[in-house]
Protein backbone atom coordinates (compact mmCIF):
# COMPACT_ATOMS: atom_id res chain seq x y z
CA UNK A 1 0.00 0.00 0.00
CA UNK A 2 1.48 3.40 -0.92
CA UNK A 3 2.06 5.65 2.08
CA UNK A 4 1.04 9.27 2.35
CA UNK A 5 3.97 11.72 2.60
CA UNK A 6 3.07 12.43 6.25
CA UNK A 7 3.05 8.74 7.16
CA UNK A 8 6.35 8.28 5.37
CA UNK A 9 8.06 11.04 7.38
CA UNK A 10 6.57 9.60 10.59
CA UNK A 11 8.07 6.21 9.81
CA UNK A 12 11.30 7.92 8.81
CA UNK A 13 11.39 9.86 12.08
CA UNK A 14 10.80 6.68 14.06
CA UNK A 15 13.65 4.92 12.24
CA UNK A 16 16.06 7.75 12.90
CA UNK A 17 14.98 7.74 16.53
CA UNK A 18 15.39 3.98 16.90
CA UNK A 19 18.81 4.07 15.29
CA UNK A 20 19.99 6.83 17.62
CA UNK A 21 18.75 4.92 20.65
CA UNK A 22 20.44 1.75 19.46
CA UNK A 23 23.79 3.49 18.98
CA UNK A 24 23.41 4.99 22.44
CA UNK A 25 22.58 1.63 24.04
CA UNK A 26 25.45 -0.15 22.33
CA UNK A 27 27.92 2.55 23.38
CA UNK A 28 26.59 2.37 26.93
CA UNK A 29 26.88 -1.39 26.96
CA UNK A 30 30.47 -1.20 25.62
CA UNK A 31 31.53 1.35 28.24
CA UNK A 32 29.90 -0.72 31.03
CA UNK A 33 31.86 -3.79 29.86
CA UNK A 34 35.04 -1.77 29.81
CA UNK A 35 34.60 -0.15 33.27
CA UNK A 36 33.30 -3.41 34.63
CA UNK A 37 31.82 -1.86 37.77
CA UNK A 38 28.05 -2.47 37.95
CA UNK A 39 27.64 0.00 40.83
CA UNK A 40 29.20 2.82 38.88
CA UNK A 41 27.72 1.95 35.53
CA UNK A 42 25.46 -1.09 35.17
CA UNK A 43 24.81 -2.47 31.71
CA UNK A 44 21.67 -1.31 29.91
CA UNK A 45 20.26 -4.83 30.18
CA UNK A 46 20.48 -4.72 34.01
CA UNK A 47 18.71 -1.38 34.04
CA UNK A 48 16.00 -2.73 31.76
CA UNK A 49 15.54 -5.73 34.06
CA UNK A 50 15.37 -3.51 37.17
CA UNK A 51 12.87 -1.29 35.47
CA UNK A 52 10.73 -4.30 34.64
CA UNK A 53 10.76 -5.40 38.28
CA UNK A 54 9.90 -1.94 39.57
CA UNK A 55 7.09 -1.64 37.06
CA UNK A 56 5.67 -5.05 37.99
CA UNK A 57 5.75 -4.22 41.68
CA UNK A 58 4.15 -0.91 40.85
CA UNK A 59 6.68 1.17 42.74
CA UNK A 60 7.84 2.96 39.60
CA UNK A 61 4.35 4.23 38.85
CA UNK A 62 3.46 4.90 42.48
CA UNK A 63 6.42 7.22 42.95
CA UNK A 64 5.87 8.80 39.54
CA UNK A 65 2.23 9.48 40.42
CA UNK A 66 3.26 11.14 43.68
CA UNK A 67 5.75 13.44 41.95
CA UNK A 68 3.41 14.16 39.08
CA UNK A 69 0.59 15.03 41.45
CA UNK A 70 2.82 17.44 43.32
CA UNK A 71 3.80 19.13 40.10
CA UNK A 72 0.20 19.53 38.94
CA UNK A 73 -0.74 20.99 42.31
CA UNK A 74 2.23 23.34 42.22
CA UNK A 75 1.39 24.53 38.71
CA UNK A 76 -2.19 25.16 39.73
CA UNK A 77 -1.10 27.25 42.71
CA UNK A 78 1.58 29.08 40.71
CA UNK A 79 -0.91 29.87 37.93
CA UNK A 80 -3.58 31.01 40.37
CA UNK A 81 -1.09 33.46 41.87
CA UNK A 82 0.96 34.50 38.86
CA UNK A 83 -1.74 34.97 36.21
CA UNK A 84 -3.88 37.54 38.07
CA UNK A 85 -0.75 39.30 39.29
CA UNK A 86 0.73 39.34 35.79
CA UNK A 87 -2.53 40.64 34.37
CA UNK A 88 -2.57 43.48 36.87
CA UNK A 89 1.10 44.27 36.23
CA UNK A 90 0.61 44.22 32.48
CA UNK A 91 -2.44 46.49 32.66
CA UNK A 92 -1.20 49.03 35.19
CA UNK A 93 2.20 50.68 35.01
CA UNK A 94 1.74 51.99 38.53
CA UNK A 95 1.06 48.56 39.92
CA UNK A 96 4.00 47.13 38.03
CA UNK A 97 6.30 49.82 39.44
CA UNK A 98 5.28 48.74 42.95
CA UNK A 99 5.61 44.99 42.46
CA UNK A 100 8.42 44.71 39.95
CA UNK A 101 11.40 45.43 42.27
CA UNK A 102 10.41 42.54 44.57
CA UNK A 103 9.93 40.23 41.62
CA UNK A 104 13.27 41.16 40.11
CA UNK A 105 14.98 40.62 43.45
CA UNK A 106 13.54 37.15 44.00
CA UNK A 107 13.65 35.91 40.43
CA UNK A 108 17.39 35.19 40.21
CA UNK A 109 17.22 33.04 43.33
CA UNK A 110 16.55 29.51 42.16
CA UNK A 111 13.94 27.40 43.88
CA UNK A 112 16.62 25.00 45.02
CA UNK A 113 18.33 27.76 47.00
CA UNK A 114 15.30 27.89 49.26
CA UNK A 115 15.39 24.19 50.19
CA UNK A 116 17.48 24.56 53.37
CA UNK A 117 15.23 27.31 54.68
CA UNK A 118 12.12 25.41 53.63
CA UNK A 119 13.38 22.41 55.58
CA UNK A 120 13.30 24.55 58.73
CA UNK A 121 9.89 25.91 57.92
CA UNK A 122 8.03 22.88 56.62
CA UNK A 123 10.16 19.91 57.60
CA UNK A 124 10.20 16.83 55.43
CA UNK A 125 6.88 16.11 53.77
CA UNK A 126 4.54 17.11 51.00
CA UNK A 127 4.66 20.83 51.60
CA UNK A 128 8.32 21.35 50.87
CA UNK A 129 8.45 20.04 47.29
CA UNK A 130 5.16 21.74 46.45
CA UNK A 131 6.47 25.01 47.83
CA UNK A 132 9.72 24.79 45.89
CA UNK A 133 7.98 23.86 42.64
CA UNK A 134 5.38 26.57 43.00
CA UNK A 135 8.15 29.07 43.57
CA UNK A 136 10.05 27.84 40.51
CA UNK A 137 7.02 27.87 38.19
CA UNK A 138 5.72 31.19 39.48
CA UNK A 139 8.26 33.46 37.75
CA UNK A 140 8.08 32.17 34.18
CA UNK A 141 4.29 32.22 34.33
CA UNK A 142 4.27 35.73 35.79
CA UNK A 143 6.68 37.16 33.23
CA UNK A 144 4.93 35.41 30.35
CA UNK A 145 1.60 36.86 31.41
CA UNK A 146 3.02 40.37 31.75
CA UNK A 147 4.71 40.12 28.34
CA UNK A 148 1.53 38.75 26.77
CA UNK A 149 -0.62 41.55 28.15
CA UNK A 150 1.95 44.15 27.09
CA UNK A 151 2.06 42.83 23.56
CA UNK A 152 -1.69 43.03 22.98
CA UNK A 153 -2.33 44.82 19.72
CA UNK A 154 -3.58 48.35 20.52
CA UNK A 155 -5.80 48.35 17.49
CA UNK A 156 -7.77 45.37 18.84
CA UNK A 157 -8.36 47.20 22.09
CA UNK A 158 -9.41 50.25 20.10
CA UNK A 159 -11.79 48.19 18.00
CA UNK A 160 -13.46 46.90 21.14
CA UNK A 161 -13.66 50.41 22.59
CA UNK A 162 -15.47 51.68 19.49
CA UNK A 163 -17.99 48.90 20.03
CA UNK A 164 -18.68 50.25 23.48
CA UNK A 165 -17.17 47.48 25.60
CA UNK A 166 -16.63 48.48 29.21
CA UNK A 167 -13.14 48.15 30.67
CA UNK A 168 -14.03 44.84 32.22
CA UNK A 169 -15.18 43.49 28.88
CA UNK A 170 -12.01 44.69 27.22
CA UNK A 171 -9.91 42.81 29.77
CA UNK A 172 -11.87 39.57 29.55
CA UNK A 173 -12.79 39.64 25.85
CA UNK A 174 -9.69 41.20 24.31
CA UNK A 175 -6.65 41.35 26.59
CA UNK A 176 -6.98 37.88 28.05
CA UNK A 177 -7.55 35.94 24.82
CA UNK A 178 -4.87 38.00 23.07
CA UNK A 179 -2.36 37.18 25.81
CA UNK A 180 -3.24 33.48 25.92
CA UNK A 181 -0.62 32.21 23.42
CA UNK A 182 2.15 33.96 25.32
CA UNK A 183 0.77 32.60 28.58
CA UNK A 184 0.82 29.06 27.22
CA UNK A 185 4.44 29.41 26.17
CA UNK A 186 5.16 30.58 29.71
CA UNK A 187 3.26 27.63 31.14
CA UNK A 188 5.42 25.29 29.11
CA UNK A 189 8.49 26.88 30.63
CA UNK A 190 6.85 26.69 34.06
CA UNK A 191 6.29 22.95 33.67
CA UNK A 192 9.92 22.47 32.70
CA UNK A 193 11.35 24.34 35.68
CA UNK A 194 8.85 22.84 38.13
CA UNK A 195 9.73 19.35 37.02
CA UNK A 196 13.42 20.11 37.33
CA UNK A 197 12.79 21.31 40.87
CA UNK A 198 10.64 18.33 41.87
CA UNK A 199 13.55 15.97 41.87
CA UNK A 200 15.92 18.27 43.72
CA UNK A 201 13.38 19.02 46.43
CA UNK A 202 12.30 15.38 46.85
CA UNK A 203 15.91 14.30 46.98
CA UNK A 204 16.23 16.13 50.26
CA UNK A 205 12.86 17.10 51.59
CA UNK A 206 10.24 14.43 50.92
CA UNK A 207 9.46 10.90 52.12
CA UNK A 208 8.17 9.84 48.69
CA UNK A 209 8.36 10.61 44.99
CA UNK A 210 10.82 10.00 42.20
CA UNK A 211 13.56 12.14 43.71
CA UNK A 212 13.21 10.33 47.00
CA UNK A 213 13.38 6.94 45.27
CA UNK A 214 16.56 7.94 43.45
CA UNK A 215 18.17 8.85 46.76
CA UNK A 216 16.85 5.74 48.53
CA UNK A 217 18.29 3.31 45.97
CA UNK A 218 21.52 5.29 45.77
CA UNK A 219 22.09 4.70 49.46
CA UNK A 220 21.46 1.00 48.86
CA UNK A 221 23.97 1.15 45.98
CA UNK A 222 21.29 -0.27 43.68
CA UNK A 223 22.36 1.65 40.57
CA UNK A 224 20.05 -0.07 38.06
CA UNK A 225 17.06 1.03 40.16
CA UNK A 226 18.48 4.54 40.47
CA UNK A 227 18.76 4.72 36.70
CA UNK A 228 15.26 3.36 36.21
CA UNK A 229 13.83 6.23 38.24
CA UNK A 230 16.01 8.74 36.40
CA UNK A 231 14.67 7.42 33.11
CA UNK A 232 11.15 7.83 34.47
CA UNK A 233 11.89 11.45 35.36
CA UNK A 234 12.99 12.11 31.80
CA UNK A 235 10.00 10.31 30.33
CA UNK A 236 7.45 12.20 32.41
CA UNK A 237 9.12 15.52 31.67
CA UNK A 238 8.88 14.73 28.00
CA UNK A 239 5.23 13.71 28.21
CA UNK A 240 4.31 16.82 30.20
CA UNK A 241 5.90 19.05 27.61
CA UNK A 242 3.92 17.31 24.90
CA UNK A 243 0.80 17.70 27.01
CA UNK A 244 1.21 21.46 27.30
CA UNK A 245 1.84 21.74 23.58
CA UNK A 246 -1.31 19.76 22.92
CA UNK A 247 -3.16 22.05 25.30
CA UNK A 248 -1.87 25.09 23.37
CA UNK A 249 -3.06 23.67 20.10
CA UNK A 250 -6.50 22.92 21.53
CA UNK A 251 -6.94 26.24 23.32
CA UNK A 252 -5.52 28.43 20.56
CA UNK A 253 -6.35 26.82 17.23
CA UNK A 254 -6.29 30.33 15.81
CA UNK A 255 -2.68 31.10 16.72
CA UNK A 256 0.01 30.87 14.06
CA UNK A 257 1.66 27.46 14.17
CA UNK A 258 4.71 27.16 16.38
CA UNK A 259 7.26 24.40 16.48
Partner 1 sequence: MSADTIKLRLAGVGKRFAVAGKPDAVAVDDFSLDIRQGEFLVVVGPSGCGKTTVLNVLAGLDTATAGTVTIDERPIAGPGPDRGVMFQDYALFPWQTVRGNVGFGLKYGPAGASLSTAARNERIAHTIDLVGLKGSEDKYPHQLSGGMRQRVALARLIANEPDVLLMDEPLAALDAQTRTILQDELLRVWGQDRPASERRTVVFITHAIDEAVFLADRIAVMTAHPGRLKTIVDNPLPRPRTDATRALPEFQALVQRIWSLIRDEAYRATVA
Please report, as ranges, the residues that interact with partner 1 according to CB under 8 A: 153, 155-156, 158-165, 169, 173-174, 177-178, 180, 252-256
- Our CB check for partner 1 shows the closer of 126 and 252 to be 252
Minimal distance, residue 256 CB to partner 1, in Å:
7
- Our CB check for partner 1 shows the closer of 178 and 192 to be 178
- Our CB check for partner 1 shows the closer of 97 and 159 to be 159
Minimal distance, residue 172 CB to partner 1, in Å:
9
**Does residue 224 contact residue 213 with C-beta atoms inside 8 Å?**
no
**Does residue 193 contact residue 112 with C-beta atoms inside 8 Å?**
no
Long-range contact pairs involving 37-45 (C-beta distance under 8 Å, separation at least 24): 38/223, 38/224, 39/221, 39/223, 40/223, 41/223, 42/223, 42/224, 42/227
How far is 129 from 63, CA to CA, in rounded Å? Answer: 14
Minimal distance, residue 220 CB to partner 1, in Å:
53
Minimal distance, residue 171 CB to partner 1, in Å:
11
The Cα angle at residue 255 between residues 14 and 77, in degrees rounded to 5: 85
Q: 169: Cβ–Cβ under 8 A, 6 or more apart, which residues?
A: 160
- Our CB check for partner 1 shows the closer of 169 and 234 to be 169
Minimal distance, residue 35 CB to partner 1, in Å:
55
**DSSP secondary-structure letter at 210?**
H
- Our CB check for partner 1 shows the closer of 119 and 171 to be 171
**Does residue 214 contact residue 226 with C-beta atoms inside 8 Å?**
yes
Amino acid sequence: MPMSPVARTRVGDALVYARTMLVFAVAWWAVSRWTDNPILLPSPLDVLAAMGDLAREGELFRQAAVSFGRMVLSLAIASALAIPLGLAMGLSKTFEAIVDPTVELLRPISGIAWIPLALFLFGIGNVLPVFIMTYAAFFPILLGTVAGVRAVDRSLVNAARTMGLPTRGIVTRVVMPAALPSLLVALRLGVAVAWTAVVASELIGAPSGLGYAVEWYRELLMTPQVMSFIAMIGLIGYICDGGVRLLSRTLTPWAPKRA
